Structure 1
Amino acid sequence: MFRILVSDKLGADGLDLLEHAPDVDFDVRTGLSEDELIEAIGEYDGLIIRSGTTVTESVLAAGERLKVVGRAGVGIDNVDVRAATKLGVVVLNTPSANTIATAEHTMALLLASARNVALSHTAMADGRWERADYVGTELHGKTLGVLGFGRVGRMVSERAHAFGMHIVAYDPFVPESVARETGAELLELDDVLATSDFVTLHMTLTNETQHLINKSSLAKMKPGAILVNAARGGLVDEAAVAEALDANQLRAFGTDVYSSEPPDSSNPLVGHAAVTHTPHLGASTEEAQRDVAVQVAEQVLAALRGDPISGSVNVAKSGGDESDLVAPFVELAEKIGRLQMAMATGSIASIEVEVQSSSADELIRPVAAGILKGLLDSVVAGRVNYVNAPVLAEERGIKISRSVGVGESDYQNMLSCRVRWASGDVAEANEERVVSGAVFGHTQARIVQISGYAFEADPNGFVLLMLNNDIPGVIGEVGTVLGRHHVNIAEWRLGRDEDRHEALSFINLDSEPDPAALEELRSLPAVTKAILVEL
């Protein structure tokens, strides 16, 4: 008999599933403190949470029987996924359950912002009949810019079409063919901003997308445009948006998310007359709440029973010889995918995965899934896992091929990933890039080649990838800049192209350099490119 603890409020349909499961006994205990959860968790095989429970490393360590944590919803910031993985605990979430609700809420914010619904409602509630003060604008015939063209972005696009809108989109990781299928036109970010009457955000929050909408990008937007954010609060610089509203550069802003939730009184957007704001209601529909509850219950039951699962955000090592063999290859594969995406300059057209090993037949599929996870993890809304990564790649029109034991190699256990890009400056290199890695003794992983530059580098922690002219003094200049910013170099590996007089460095750092350090490195005359990636 499996025991499950439900520590946050869960929809009745999900509880009903647990109630009728013949092999499950469950308790609902909400509002537990961390100490209370630590004391209780040792009796349970599964834990179901929402946003109200924080699953720390201490909680996980106390769960001697714990096999799975199910998050009803998308965000897993309240779960220590790294600690869970180390302890063999599967972490699940339910990103697809919220998609329709979020898309519809986006449309609600678009319409409410365009027609001054919030302001006119307040006026009516105060007994004021002020029709002339709240003349709005129509969606019909206008251009909607969609930043991020994943599931939610595409659903918003479909709904906006029904209002007679023209759709332009920005997503560097979606092929044009996928956009065309939904009637959207893919453009560069600046072009989307310049041509759109309405702009809506549907991107994940990463180092690259933090404050994507800022003073500079707002200045590129059409005067009087309307902005909507139902994705992540950190995508916009809230102070810059407030300034744009005050200057009538933006007509209105509709938002469901904030950099800090709940927002405090210092947030310049709270109470602003041109802002329609809701308290993170994107997933708050009866249907979404029901679907979230059912999906998390189904997935937790499947994980406990050993059945296939589709919502895992990590892969727990199950033990055994096969797992011991595969795990280091899959971990290296994911890091190869991350390296490829860190160097991306366009959308992915195709991917070739090759494994050279005596166990290649057993390794090829999990290795391919690992590479896809690394490639897509930072650009797909919701978490990517080894199960859904191939499906997500297929949805984006990415062609994938796999091969085993082809060609000669200096390494017994080598993985290679060749990515062909649809656009970008990498087109000069035949629109493709190859990254290869090797596993030594079935435990130690190394990156051994990037686009013909050969070295053996440790794929862990913060890594600075740097392309530079192969001339004297570069190492000293880079070391001086990093030292000035208090960043220690742990290891420096370098590959050379003697014909082109270029070098590619793979520099392991003890800490993350700040943006100022990276900009200073990029300004060095000999440095062509500097990219930071965390592996």
Structure 2
Amino acid sequence: MAPKVLVSDKLSDTAVQIFRDRGIDVDFMPELGKDKDKLAEVIGEYDGLAIRSATKVTAKLLENAPNLKVIGRAGIGTDNVDKEAASKKGIIVMNTPYGNMITTAEHAIAMMFAVARQIPEASASTQAGKWEKSKFMGVELTGKTLGVIGAGNIGGIVCDRARGLKMKVVAYDPFLSQEKADKMGVEKVELDELLKRADFVTLHVPLTDQTKNILSRENMEKMKKGARVINCARGGLVDEEALADLLKSGHIGAAAFDVFTVEPATENPLFGLPNVVCTPHLGAATTEAQENVALQVAEQMSDYLLTGAVSNALNMPSVTAEEAKVMGPWIKLSDHLGGFIGQMTDEPIKAINILYDGVVADMNLEALTCSAVAGIMKSVNPEVNMVSAPLMAKEKGVKISTTRQDKSGAFEGYIKLTVVTDKRERSIGGTVFSDGKPRFIQIKGINIDAEIGEHMLYTTNKDEPGIIGALGLTLGGNGVNIANFTLGRSAAGGEAIALLYVDAPVGKDVIAKLHETGKFQQIAPLQFDVH
């Protein structure tokens, strides 16, 4: 029987035809995604679901989808898909990360022109029969300084276009190497320096715990008086209430927003202000971009349903079905090793070196390496996957090297991951035990044996009495239960580490209390996707 796919959002007729041409039974019901009850009634019939942003794929919906194998999102954002619920049910979630980059970058440039020359307000005034030339004196872009927060795929295109407009470009991106910045022709700076110098600031980062309100009131007060802010990336990157106040006071000259903290945005603190341009999340809304991502998702889903090939999956490694049986736990280990390094590193990474020892050295190292690199990159972009991570690393000038070696120690096989920055090298090793569970076995050259949990706490200290007591008393006194506790040291009285698997996230207040004990050099809460 042919696989059956439901298209519940608006995809082009050409994309729908791709499914048919590949021998897939497809139902095209572009309005169904807006009716969650009706969608829940019929979803059980389908092997695949092709969507845009209107369809909300919730855990509740997936309870009614026993046959669903793949969800394909035509576009990059997958906030409308419960990826954890999909993963637990073995459903692959795919996106199309590169189909709308140029369109989104062009929209940011267009919004910059709009606020520089007050085009929307001038158009409304002129069409109202007024002729207010002196009211709409704008500014040139030539010679101005553009501050780009996030110099990845889309941000990189914005940098290139801005240089073509003869703007000076400064960029803040923790993962941007000096070599890559030089190649792009931009000046790599810290965030405070960017805010101080930029005439225009444009954002091109995903929304994460680290980037939420990256333009806070405090940061925007550091900006030049009269500077302009453009956000075509994600709502929540800017404190909209604070920006509204600073626009009214004149400290910020103008703003252009395509994305908002709450969408659809029917009301917002920025609405109605004369020096603000707003569009309804149009970044990817061009004919070309919509067609590109629709065709791409149709091809990807067809490939998976017909051949088992996986590409651009957010929750599934790109490996064959035969390899997955053996490699699954090792791929998960690679992701955890990368996740540890990524969460511990806030400097530009110059190189990633991976050593494969013993049995793992004979596996599909490309998939394992992609998983490790994706684990690292997820700390700055949660939507990165095994396909896009190596490309992201390459674009940022990160050199990736791998080494195979025969069994050299007590373990049948292990992986050691090392990253190199301008300031330091950081390494971690891991293996998979006979029970199929990944373990950390070495950090900073110190041997350990640590079970990996969803919530963990990592500390470094001088080897001296009282460390276990300080951790136990502080965590226990604040309601944090310890599931597993691992210690290691370089030598008696030397450098020591602790890695704790806890039942809940360790909050900032508890971290502060641990620092107050004076016993720890470094304290880092960690999270891992163990599902």
Query: How would you bin the TM-score normalised by the shorter chain?
Result: over 0.9
Whether 1:508 and 2:483 are equivalent positions in the alignment is no
Deviation of 1:230 (Å): 0.7
Kept in 2: contact 1:18–1:26 (CA 8 A):
no
CA distance in 2, matches of 1:137, 1:317: 49
**Compared with structure 1, are the counterparts of its residues 255 and 505 closer, same or farther at alpha carbon in structure 2 (3 Å cutoff)?**
same
Match of 2:446 among 450, 453, 458: 453
Could you tell me how far apart the structure 1 residues matched to 2:218 and 2:107 are? 27
Q: 1:229 to 1:504 in 2, by over 3 A?
A: same
Q: C-alpha displacement at 1:155, in angstroms?
A: 0.6
Q: Equivalent of 1:44, from 43, 46, 64?
A: 46
Counterpart in the other structure of 1:393: 393
Mark the CA change 1:139 to 1:480 in structure 2 (over 3 Å): closer, same or farther. Answer: farther
Tell me, in whole angstroms, the C-alpha distance in 1 between the residues paired with 2:467 and 2:248.
47
The one-letter code sitting in structure 1 at the alignment partner of 2:40 is I
Equivalent residue number for residue 490 of structure 1: 483
Deviation for aligned residue 1:130: 2.2
Q: Counterpart of 2:433?
A: 440
User: What amino acid is aligned across from residue 6 of structure 2 in structure 1?
Assistant: L
2:233 match: secondary structure: coil
Distance verdict in 2 for CA 1:221–1:497, change over 3 Å: farther
Q: Which residue of 1 aligns with 2:330?
A: 329
Map of 1:91-102 to 2, 5 A cutoff? Answer: 91-102=93-104
Q: Evaluate the alpha carbon distance shift between residue 161 and residue 410 of structure 1 in structure 2; reply closer, same or farther with a 3 A threshold.
A: same
- Looking at structure 2, the residues matched to 98 and 321 of structure 1 have their Cα atoms a distance apart, in angstroms, of 33
**2:75 matched residue in structure 1:** 73
2:311–2:387 CA contact under 8 A, matched in 1 = yes
Task: Indicate if the aligned counterparts of 2:453 and 2:502 stay in contact, CA closer than 8 A.
Answer: no
Equivalences for 1:175-254 in 2 at 5 Å? 175-254=177-256
Write the distance in 1 (CA, Å) between the matches of 2:51 and 2:256: 29
Structure-2 separation of matches of 1:63 and 1:253: 43
TM-score relative to the length of structure 2: 0.92
1:381-422 deviation line (CA, Å, top 9, x unaligned) = x8322233333322322212212225733322211101111x
Instruction: State the Cα distance separating 1:483 from its structure 2 match.
Output: 4.6
Answer whether contact 1:88 1:316 (CA < 8 A) is retained.
no
The answer to whether the Cα contact below 8 Å between 1:211 and 1:236 also exists between their aligned partners in 2 is yes
Give the corresponding residue for 1:373. Answer: 374
Instruction: Name the stretch that deviates more: 289-298 or 29-38.
Output: 29-38
Asked whether 1:4 is paired with 2:22, we answer no
Q: What CA distance in whole angstroms lies between the structure 1 residues aligned with 2:522 and 2:319? A: 41
Q: Deviation per CA, 1:241-267, whole angstroms, max 9, x where unpaired?
A: 2222223221111111111112353x3
Q: 1:527 aligns with which of 495, 509, 520?
A: 520
- Deviation by residue 1:460-516 (Cα, 9 ceiling, x = unmatched): 211122223444444444445445554333322222244664432212221223334
Aligned partners of 2:309 and 2:320 also within 8 Å: no
Q: C-alpha displacement at 1:363, in angstroms?
A: 4.6
Q: Indicate yes or no: 2:68 matched with 1:82.
A: no
Cα distance in 2 for partners of 1:132, 1:183 equals: 36
How far 1:310 sits from its partner (Å)? 3.0
Give the aligned partner of residue 342 of structure 2: 341
Tell me which moved more, 466-475 or 83-92. 466-475
Alignment of 1:84-163 (within 5 A): 84-163=86-165
Alpha-carbon RMSD = 2.4
Q: Which runs of 5+ in 1 are unaligned?
A: none
CA distance in structure 2 between the aligned counterparts of 1:323 and 1:526, rounded to whole angstroms: 44
Question: 1:337, 1:516 → 2: CA distance?
Answer: 27
Quote the offset at 1:523 in angstroms: 4.9
Distance in 2 between the 1:406 and 1:420 partners?
A: 24
Q: Is the 8 A contact 2:15 2:295 kept in 1?
A: yes
Displacement, 1:524? Answer: 4.4
Quote the residue 2:460 is aligned against: 467
Match of 1:409, SS state, is coil
Q: How far, CA to CA, are the matches of 1:274 and 1:68 in structure 2?
A: 44
CA contact (8 A) 2:310 2:319 kept: no
Look up the SS of the partner of 1:527 in the other structure. coil
Name the structure 2 match of 1:13. 14
The AA in structure 1 aligned to 2:265 is P
**Pairing of 1:261-280 with structure 2 (within 5 A):** 261-265=263-267, 267-280=268-281
Where do 5+ consecutive residues of structure 2 fail to align?
none
For 1:336, give the aligned amino acid: L
Q: How far does residue 357 in structure 1 lie from its aligned partner after superposition?
A: 2.4
Q: Tell me the residue number matched to 2:413.
A: 413
- C-alpha contact (below 8 Å) 2:343/2:379 kept by paired residues: no
Change (3 A) 1:340 1:446: same
Q: Which residue of 1 aligns with 2:305?
A: 304
In 2, the alpha carbon distance for the partners of 1:397 and 1:134 equals 43
1:517 matched residue in structure 2 = 510
Alignment partners' CA distance in 2, 1:189 and 1:532:
24
Shift of 1:99: 0.5
Distance 2:44 2:100 in 1: 31
Query: 2:321 and 2:292 mapped to 1: Cα distance?
Result: 35
C-alpha separation between the residues in 2 aligned to 1:441 and 1:223? Answer: 62
Please give the per-residue CA displacement for 1:61-114, whole angstroms capped at 9, x wherever unaligned: 433332211111111122222232333322111121110110011001111111
Looking at structure 1, the residues matched to 470 and 122 of structure 2 have their Cα atoms a distance apart, in angstroms, of 60
Indicate if the aligned counterparts of 1:447 and 1:456 stay in contact, CA closer than 8 A: yes
**Partners in 1 of 2:142 and 2:462 — Cα distance?**
53
| Contact in 2 for aligned 1:310/1:388 (Cα 8 Å) | no
Tell me how far apart the structure 1 counterparts of residues 149 and 264 of structure 2 sit (CA, whole Å): 24
Other structure's SS at 1:180 match: helix
**Alpha-carbon spacing, 1:259–1:487, altered in 2? closer, same or farther (3 Å):** farther
| Structure 2 residue matching 1:16: 3-state secondary structure | helix
Q: Identity of paired residues, percent?
A: 37
Seen in structure 2, the aligned counterparts of structure 1 residues 435 and 272 have a Cα distance that, compared at 3 Å, is same
